[in-house]
Structure 1
Amino acid sequence: MTFLNSAPPRGRLALIVATSLVLVAAVAFAALFLVQRVERDAALFEVETRARSDAQILANGLRSELSKFELVPRVLAEDLEVAAVVQGDRGTRRALDRRLERIAEQTGAAALYVMDADGLTLAASNWNLPTSFVGSNYAFRGYFRDALAQGEASQFALGTVSRAPGLYIAHSIVVDGRPRGVVALKVEFDEAEQVWRDSGVRAFVSDAEGIVLIASDPAWRFTMLQRFASAGRDAAADERQYGVAGFRRFAPDIPDAALVSVPVGYPAQGTAEEWNLHLLAETGPQVAAAQQTARLEVLLGLVALALVLWAAFQWRRHRQAQTRSIIAARTATLREQLTQANRLATLGQVTAGVGHEIRQPLAASRLFAENGQRMIAAGDTGGAADNFAHIAGLMERIGQITDELLRFSRRTAREPGDVQLARAIDGAMLLLRDRIEQSGVTIERPSSSLAETIVRAEPVRLEQVLVNLLQNALDAVGEGGRIEITIACDANFARLSVLDDGPGLTREEADQLFQPFATTKPDGLGLGLVISLDIMQGLDGDLVVEPSGDGGRFTMVIPLA
């Protein structure tokens, strides 16, 4: 009798084992390939996301710095001493030289100078240096011609004397309705570039034509991005402006790098001339780490699938928590920068009025000083003392204004403390005093007893919100309107309200009021109230729109101390 053997022949078993091993190896390689691809893409995405966030922070910082410099030529263009010099007053030139020197040192500007309508430099901050601009003619510069024709202009160029690259910001000097000269300020970026290099940041800034202007690597400066063509350019003009007759292609020797680009918002957001900041982020170490992680995951999966799944779950949860922590920290940083940008924008709106507030005491002080000199010469020491006392009082007034400006513009991250509401009200009224007087608006303040209410807040942030609300109220009421500031308290909170007799808000406008970019102003961005709400909530308070019979009523809810 013949029996059938149920076990497969030895050769067939070997074939099954070999086939199984081949299939397992194929699945393992396929899994390894897929996991490596996924991890590589995730690492690249994370690197690019982080780089884009870092680039945005750098761009915001650069734009904030440029905004500070933009104000200087604009304010000096309205200065009486500058106007006198461009009209031929030679006696005040040396005094203006020294004054420009002090302002340049205080602001960190490379140079600050005044030219007449023909481009001849009359006074400069570097008047006593071998590289002095005094006597030089810059009528050939584009920023001079554009500022004279359009009121203000900027241009990035190589210095004709220093041969140092920098940004020239210019503003025309208008006297009796016609341009009589130009105030120009030069900003050099060597310190910013050195900071980038020291921190290991590979960044550069290009203009609308793709020309690299500012770079962490000096070899990149005055090269041109690949997507822009340099053919057909005026070589002689490029030689005068940039010191190069032909631009090399931008080709950084950085393997495995991701390039992210964000707009700087200069000269103006969304314009054809806007600068762009670019950041090169090295991806090699992150990709290599991601590939190593993939190999480990696959190996552990083959040894013990359950252990791998558990480890992958834990790793992913930790990674998500770390990412959330990073995003939260950077969101807080961006929120602080946005708040500071709003504060600087508000400061720019009141600068002209503050300039008027300062010019009047200065002019009066000069007259008192001249009278005092004559009285001393005539032997009237008592009258001279009275004049000098008037001067001291006027200087104290100027000091109050400038102290308030410096305090309001200073970046702040202090913890909340005990603050009198009167401090915020007084600061806001001081900043907006000129606009209030010019518009003829009546503002009723709360009683002194209520204004002495002490709350738990940060003074500058509290004042920033109140300035925003008062400016909105001034826009709403127009000339000759009425605004009232009231204070009411309950057990835990003080409610500081700004009421106006303007046209008020529709229900639709009120519902969308705290949505970003929702605005009723033709030239508004719709961010002021959003930032103000964020500030109040950060102080454990709130900002609300309350029903009002006529006009608008905005209320700041502030914790009591």
Structure 2
Amino acid sequence: MTTRSDSEAIPRSRLTLVAIVGGAIIILSLLAYVALDRAMRNAAMDEARSVAAADAAILAEGLQSELEKFSLVPLVLAEDPQVRGLVSGDSGDVATLNRRLEELAQQTGAAAIYLTDARGTTLAASNWRLPTSFVDSNYGFRRYFIQAMDSGSATQFALGTVSRRPGLYIAQRVDDGESKLGIVAVKVEFDALEASWRKATSGVFVTDAEGVVLVTSNPAWRFNTLRPENAAKRDRAADARQFGLASLPTMPDLTSPSSLVGTSLIETEQPIAPNGWDLHLLADPSPRVAAARANAQLVLLLGLVAVALAGAALFLGQRRREARAEAEVAERTAKLRDQLQQANRLATLGQVTAGVGHEIRQPVAAMRVLAENGGKLLSAGDAATAKENFGTIVSLTDRIGKITDELRRFSRRGTAQPRDVALREVVEGAMLLLGDRIAQSGAGVVLPPGEDLAIRVRGEHVGLEQVLVNLLQNALDAVGGDGRIVLSITRDGEKCLLSVRDNGPGLDAEQRDSLFQPFATTKEDGLGLGLVISQDIMRSLGGDLVLARADGGGACFVMAVPLA
């Protein structure tokens, strides 16, 4: 027989097995993640190096092209007859040459173009108009002048002696046979290029053959040296003349995570000929590495994502079914509301039909009499009086047309889109439909002044007219034969308030509490839906229908409509 301790040992062993298997799966998953993460990180670093090398080549090519463009300027000018004539001792037209050099500098983007004699004194310069003009300044001490006079051409990166702005000086000797007459020099500044580098890269700088930073996206790096071990061998006086610094600072280690940049950067070098320069591009691989790590995590979590997607699909399916059911209910509700409003309009038309028939019969009878009299007048030769009769007939037909148009519009099914409506159209339409009943009841109806009726609201004509007709009919029922009904219009912020006030007996507290509830009515033959439907119409138009007063002095209902 199995003992209790044996039966308890079986589930315990199963739990242990599940724990071991679960732990093994977790460990294997972690090991797989570590291996995948390392592989993807290495691939991301390789890709970052490849992209950085390509970017460095593009930047170097751009700088090389810029240097070659400016190198052509002194070569061409050294052969110019006017330049040769000036350095040969012919005073010539110096002003014309100054202007030529000025225009050429503007066209090429050079900071300065100038001509010196064999002793280094500047004879003409593109900046001759400026306070920092090179004219009459002597640059015989500059290395580029000495080397150009010796070998024919030279370049040197240095601070300007007057402007104190860094730039590259490109010099070409002017010869006349065996005679060395002077040099033509172009100064190139790299402000625009450095600004574009700052926007596009994490860091880029150009060093000369001795490892000194010349052109850089970070001005703080300029004239730093990559070779601090050679500092003791440098000519401090020459560095002070060329760079403005007797002791060049050491370039920070930007590829170390502990550097000022705060992350490990990739440095790529690209040589630039013919100056012995090197372009150094610093690329930040962290976005690619972060993407690689994210991809590794994504691979690890694919199983969980699949499960989550399945659950989400079930949830969304349920929500979609619920939304479809809600939409169907809303559609049925809208149809029922429309049908209810249509039934209310037709019921209202049934109530006013007799009065409208009377409104039409009277003009028809008058038209018959006028037409008969008109025929007799024509036979008697009284054409003028007959013409007046016929004019009256036309006006009566217009009135009949207005009444029938109003009936047709009021009975139309469906709701039109809201538009700008003048309140005069709504009030006059309601008065057309109820004119005969008002006349027979003996009640007095006071309409708003013309300027108030001209106010335009944002609504739907038939809906507003239906509400107003319902309110007027209720007021006529309340006031009896000698009552008084006053329509007034006021503005309240962005709403227009159309009030229907009567001097009837008003409503008691119980009636007021149930006024806008379905099937609550004070009439023996009423259904109690008129005010409910009217309030629904007003709210669908962005307004409202409220009871403003219901004391012993009568009731006042207010239609709040958005202003146009």
TM-score by length of 2: 0.50
SS at match of 1:34: helix
Q: 2:278 aligns with which of 276, 288, 291?
A: 276
In the TM superposition, what is the alpha-carbon distance from 1:301 to its structure 2 partner?
5.1
Aligned to 1:187: 188
Aligned to 2:42: 41
**CA–CA distance in structure 2, aligned partners of residues 159 and 33 of structure 1:** 56
In the TM superposition, what is the alpha-carbon distance from 1:226 to its structure 2 partner?
5.6
SS at match of 1:167: strand
In the TM superposition, what is the alpha-carbon distance from 1:227 to its structure 2 partner?
7.5
Q: Pairwise mapping of residues 41-440 of structure 1 onto structure 2 (< 5 A)? A: 41-200=42-201, 202-225=203-226, 229-251=230-252, 252=254, 253-266=260-273, 268=274, 273-300=275-302
**CA–CA distance in structure 1, aligned partners of residues 208 and 235 of structure 2:** 17
Contact 1:48–1:258 (CA under 8 A) maintained in structure 2: no
Alpha carbons of structure 1 residues 179 and 17: separation in structure 2 relative to 1, 3 Å = same
Contact 2:149–2:180 (CA under 8 A) maintained in structure 1: yes
Encode CA deviations 1:315-350: one digit per residue, 9 max, x unaligned: xxxxxxxxxxxxxxxxxxxxxxxxxxxxxxxxxxxx
Encode CA deviations 1:261-282: one digit per residue, 9 max, x unaligned: 343433x2xxxx5211122222
SS at match of 1:254: coil
Contact 2:204–2:280 (CA under 8 A) maintained in structure 1: yes
Letter paired with 1:206: T
Contact 2:201–2:282 (CA under 8 A) maintained in structure 1: no
**CA–CA distance in structure 1, aligned partners of residues 49 and 7 of structure 2:** 61
In the TM superposition, what is the alpha-carbon distance from 1:78 to its structure 2 partner?
1.3
Alpha carbons of structure 1 residues 303 and 69: separation in structure 2 relative to 1, 3 Å = closer
**CA–CA distance in structure 2, aligned partners of residues 75 and 111 of structure 1:** 16
**CA–CA distance in structure 2, aligned partners of residues 303 and 160 of structure 1:** 67
SS at match of 1:162: coil
Encode CA deviations 1:431-471: one digit per residue, 9 max, x unaligned: xxxxxxxxxxxxxxxxxxxxxxxxxxxxxxxxxxxxxxxxx
**CA–CA distance in structure 2, aligned partners of residues 168 and 288 of structure 1:** 44
**CA–CA distance in structure 2, aligned partners of residues 49 and 265 of structure 1:** 19
Letter paired with 2:294: Q
**CA–CA distance in structure 1, aligned partners of residues 167 and 296 of structure 2:** 48
Alpha carbons of structure 1 residues 263 and 293: separation in structure 2 relative to 1, 3 Å = closer
In the TM superposition, what is the alpha-carbon distance from 1:168 to its structure 2 partner?
0.4
Contact 1:261–1:276 (CA under 8 A) maintained in structure 2: no
Contact 1:210–1:228 (CA under 8 A) maintained in structure 2: no
Letter paired with 2:47: E
**CA–CA distance in structure 1, aligned partners of residues 126 and 138 of structure 2:** 16
**CA–CA distance in structure 2, aligned partners of residues 282 and 261 of structure 1:** 11
Letter paired with 2:175: V
Contact 1:257–1:280 (CA under 8 A) maintained in structure 2: no
SS at match of 1:30: helix
Contact 2:153–2:171 (CA under 8 A) maintained in structure 1: yes
Give the superposed CA RMSD: 2.5
**CA–CA distance in structure 2, aligned partners of residues 231 and 43 of structure 1:** 41
Moved more, 256-265 or 42-51: 256-265
Alpha carbons of structure 1 residues 303 and 166: separation in structure 2 relative to 1, 3 Å = closer
Contact 1:262–1:276 (CA under 8 A) maintained in structure 2: yes
**CA–CA distance in structure 2, aligned partners of residues 116 and 231 of structure 1:** 36
Alpha carbons of structure 1 residues 301 and 95: separation in structure 2 relative to 1, 3 Å = same
Contact 2:98–2:126 (CA under 8 A) maintained in structure 1: yes
In the TM superposition, what is the alpha-carbon distance from 1:124 to its structure 2 partner?
0.9
Aligned to 1:27: 28
**CA–CA distance in structure 1, aligned partners of residues 138 and 206 of structure 2:** 29
Contact 1:174–1:180 (CA under 8 A) maintained in structure 2: yes
Letter paired with 2:225: M
Contact 2:120–2:182 (CA under 8 A) maintained in structure 1: yes
TM-score by length of 1: 0.50
Contact 1:60–1:264 (CA under 8 A) maintained in structure 2: no
**CA–CA distance in structure 2, aligned partners of residues 32 and 226 of structure 1:** 42
Aligned to 1:451: none
**CA–CA distance in structure 2, aligned partners of residues 301 and 245 of structure 1:** 64
Alpha carbons of structure 1 residues 218 and 193: separation in structure 2 relative to 1, 3 Å = same
**CA–CA distance in structure 1, aligned partners of residues 94 and 162 of structure 2:** 21
SS at match of 2:232: coil
Aligned to 1:548: none
Letter paired with 2:145: F
Runs of 5+ in structure 2 lacking a partner? Answer: 255-259, 310-564
**Which of these two proteins has the greater Rg computed from alpha carbons?**
2
Runs of 5+ in structure 1 lacking a partner? Answer: 308-561
Letter paired with 1:258: L
Contact 1:256–1:283 (CA under 8 A) maintained in structure 2: no
SS at match of 2:170: strand
**CA–CA distance in structure 2, aligned partners of residues 302 and 7 of structure 1:** 34
Alpha carbons of structure 1 residues 235 and 226: separation in structure 2 relative to 1, 3 Å = closer
SS at match of 1:90: coil
Alpha carbons of structure 1 residues 227 and 10: separation in structure 2 relative to 1, 3 Å = farther
Q: Pairwise mapping of residues 454-533 of structure 1 onto structure 2 (< 5 A)? A: none
SS at match of 1:91: coil
Contact 2:33–2:297 (CA under 8 A) maintained in structure 1: yes
* Identity score, percent: 49
In the TM superposition, what is the alpha-carbon distance from 1:258 to its structure 2 partner?
2.8
In the TM superposition, what is the alpha-carbon distance from 1:302 to its structure 2 partner?
7.4
In the TM superposition, what is the alpha-carbon distance from 1:178 to its structure 2 partner?
2.5
Contact 1:159–1:165 (CA under 8 A) maintained in structure 2: yes
Encode CA deviations 1:191-235: one digit per residue, 9 max, x unaligned: 111122234552211112111111111111111226864232111
Letter paired with 2:92: G
**CA–CA distance in structure 2, aligned partners of residues 226 and 284 of structure 1:** 28
Letter paired with 1:24: I
SS at match of 1:29: helix
**CA–CA distance in structure 2, aligned partners of residues 6 and 287 of structure 1:** 54
Aligned to 2:446: none
Contact 1:28–1:298 (CA under 8 A) maintained in structure 2: yes
In the TM superposition, what is the alpha-carbon distance from 1:151 to its structure 2 partner?
0.7
**CA–CA distance in structure 2, aligned partners of residues 209 and 8 of structure 1:** 79
Aligned to 1:497: none
In the TM superposition, what is the alpha-carbon distance from 1:152 to its structure 2 partner?
0.6
**CA–CA distance in structure 1, aligned partners of residues 82 and 271 of structure 2:** 34
